[in-house]
Amino acid sequence: MTLALLLLAGLFLPLYPLSILPNALLQGQLSAELGKGSEWRRAPAFKMTLLLVFPMIGVGLATLAMRVGAPDARLLTLFGVWGGITSVLYAFRLLSAKDGEIWISHLFTSALALIWIGIAYGVDPLLPAIGLSVSLLPLVFLLEQLTQRFGIARSGLYPGLCCRMPWFSHLFVLAVLTAIAVPFSPSFFAVAALAFGGVAADEVVVLLPICLSWLLWTWAGVNLLTGIVWGIPRDDLVYRDLDPQRAIGVGGGMVVLGLFGILLVEVAL
């Protein structure tokens, strides 16, 4: 029963190969296969809901598994190692992702798989899971804005947006930084909470995947910025910047996220 619950949780806190399903959902691949009438599954609201709800369900199932029967420490370590490998695998694959939907889904999997390290080594997983998932929300919103303007959110197709869409670009930079766990974002504090909390049990198993994934996220984040924000803008496109009021609203949301991060670390450590 415990094993079944943990495996089920592996669908929501993605563990490879169970991660294929949430990835396909986040990339809208399943909706395309289901045909007409399922376009709502590509909508950002649906993706944001998935990003928020999946980790909650995963953490809930993992907690239930712990309560149902105290799992063997070796089993938990196995899940911790599995989570670490999944995280590094998806972080590595993130390096070559150019499509916005693929980028978000791979980062989501890489980040949330780290929660297993927390679960395996006695760190309360709820706040880090929330921190890692909410950090992706601004980027999902802004990638959707790109899709609305250019038909697709993809790195390399319309570089140099900072010269043509400054409001959008400033927010996009902040959103990418928030997603890849730079300081003051909830994901930074979530990663710190996992590392600081889990290190007591096994230094190498905890720190190695966290550090590797974190490094690869940075590289992937810069790749995304290079293909969208930096460079020489194309002249054959029509650019429409974000409305300043809306941009200020999103920026305010990011400040709130930063404050949430500080709260997270206060509670976690």
Binding site residues, other proteins, CB under 8 A: 19-20, 23-24, 27, 29, 92-97, 99, 102, 105, 160, 162-163, 173, 177, 182-184, 188, 192, 195-196, 199-200, 203-204, 206-207, 211, 214-215, 218-219, 222, 226, 229-232, 262, 265-266, 269
Which residue, 134 or 177, is less far from other proteins as judged by CB?
177
- In the block, which residue shows the tokens 């710190």? 192
Bridge partners of 154? Answer: 99
Q: How far is the CB of 69 from other proteins (least distance, A)?
A: 28
Residue closer to other proteins, measured from CB, 150 or 230: 230
* Helix H or strand E segment including 126: helix 126-134
Measured over the CA atoms of residue 29, residue 81, residue 214 and residue 51, the dihedral's sign is positive
Distance in Å, CB of 20 to other proteins, minimum: 5
Question: The tokens of 189 are what?
Answer: 């504090």
Do residues 149 and 49 touch, judged by C-beta distance below 8 A?
no
Nearer to other proteins, 29 or 63 (CB): 29
133 vs 178, beta carbon nearer other proteins:
178
Task: Indicate the residue among 73 and 269 with the shorter CB distance to other proteins.
Answer: 269
Provide, rounded to whole angstroms, the least separation between the CB of residue 242 and other proteins: 17
Q: How far is the CB of 189 from other proteins (least distance, A)?
A: 8
Distance separating alpha carbons of residues 117 and 44, to the nearest angstrom = 29
Task: Name the minimum Å distance from CB 10 to other proteins.
Answer: 15
Residue 101: closest CA among 6, 25, 215, 15: 25
Find all residues with CB under 8 Å of 36, minimum gap 6, and list them: none
- The answer to whether 189 and 265 are in contact (CB under 8 A) is yes
We find the least distance from the C-beta atom of residue 67 to other proteins, in angstroms, to be 26
CA–CA separation, 221 and 147 (whole Å) = 19
Beta pairing partners, 99: 154
Between CA 115 and CA 226 the distance in angstroms is 29
Q: Shortest gap between Cβ of 24 and other proteins (angstroms)?
A: 5
CB nearer to other proteins: give 129 or 180.
180
> Which residue, 92 or 150, is less far from other proteins as judged by CB?
92
Q: How many CA atoms lie within 13 A of 200 on its CB side?
A: 9
Residues 6+ positions from 265 with CB-CB distance below 8 Å: 189, 192, 193
